[in-house]
Copies of this chain bind each other. A is one copy, B any other.
Amino acid sequence: MTEVSLNQITKKFGKQTVLNDISLQLKPDTIYGLLGRNGAGKSTLLNILTNRIPASSGSVLIDGQTNINNDRVLGKIYLMSEANLYPNRAKVFQIFRQTAHFYSGFDFELAHQLASKFGLNENLRFSKLSTGYRSILKDIIALSVDAELILLDEPTLGLDANHRELFYRELVETYAQRPRTFVISTHLIEEIAGMIENVLLIRDGKLLLDDTAENLLAQSYSVTGPEKEVQEYTAGLNVIGHDNLGKLRSDYVFGQLDEERVLPDTVTVEGIDLQKLFINLTGQTDKEGQL
């Protein structure tokens, strides 16, 4: 079990502050969803965790030790990202071997099995792989290394529906067999919603939410009905967004409802899913609410 803590991480590129004072602890053996808009700072955060880029200030501690110039610590982490780090001429099986030089417990048997299930030909050169199959190769490596902390940055980019389903199934399977911590950054929120135990939501470089998916969904509502009644009912509540359809209106509420309020017959209250919550918390237009 590996303990991971980020302490007041700030990252600036020139005058732009990409990450702003982020502190968090990752619980061991937990599947995290790392959510945020394009440009919110998710990839930067993952790159800092693995020391691919330096933070402007703050520290990352893995089991109490810095991750800077520390191969023993970095061997506990694997980052799957969009970056293509492999030589174009290297063949798939050679990339597996090369990975095993750094991650000595690399599970070749699992990697071969997965390559076969995904239809990845191990004799192909990296340069010949499509966008989807490059993601698949990197996903296979991520599931096969013996690291304790697996960071997945858009693991399903370019994957078709069958391959995405297969990938989620294999991830859960390997997690059950050998629990470790996964951090999954993706734009396909609903597809991973059933799998993630904890949500990290970054907005404008700040950590906006760090809570269990269960807690978040238990306080996320849509309130739908005639515009006037809906607005009377949600007045003073934390309305994070709304939709209109003709004269009907849905207000999205994040936080507790007022139990003393009487719900008119014409108005219905329902839970919303994680993607709807995300869209309303991070949308920039027509949004009146806040956390």
Contacts and interface: CB of A to CB of B under 8 A. Distances in A.
Interface of A: 36-39, 82, 117, 119, 130-133, 154, 157-165, 187-189, 275, 278-279, 282-285
A160 B187 contact: yes
A38 B160 contact: yes
A157 B160 contact: no
A261 B215 CA distance: 46
Contacts of A133: 38
Contact of A157 (B117, B158, B163, B285): B158
A279 B82 CA distance: 26
A187 B36 CA distance: 21
Most buried by B among A132, A162, A278: A162
Contacts of A285: 117
Contact of A161 (B130, B132, B278): B278
Given A38-B132, A38-B158, A162-B283, 11 more contacts: A36-B160, A37-B160, A37-B162, A38-B130, A38-B159, A131-B157, A160-B187, A161-B278, A162-B279, A162-B282, A188-B188
Contact of A130 (B39, B117, B187, B283): B39
Contact of A159 (B130, B131, B187): B187
A157 B187 CA distance: 10
A254 B50 CA distance: 48
A136 to B, nearest CB: 9
Contacts of A157: 131, 157-158
Contact of A165 (B132, B158, B279): B279
Q: 6 closest pairs, A vs B, by CB?
A: A38-B132, A160-B187, A37-B160, A38-B160, A162-B283, A162-B279
Contacts of A130: 38-39
Contacts of A164: 187
A130 B278 CA distance: 21
A138 to B, nearest CB: 15
Nearest to A42: B160
Given A162-B279, A187-B158, A82 B37 contact: no
Nearest to A274: B161
A163 B38 contact: yes
A282 B163 CA distance: 11
10 contacts: A38-B133, A38-B160, A39-B130, A131-B157, A157-B157, A160-B187, A161-B189, A161-B279, A162-B282, A188-B188
Contacts of A162: 37, 279, 282-283
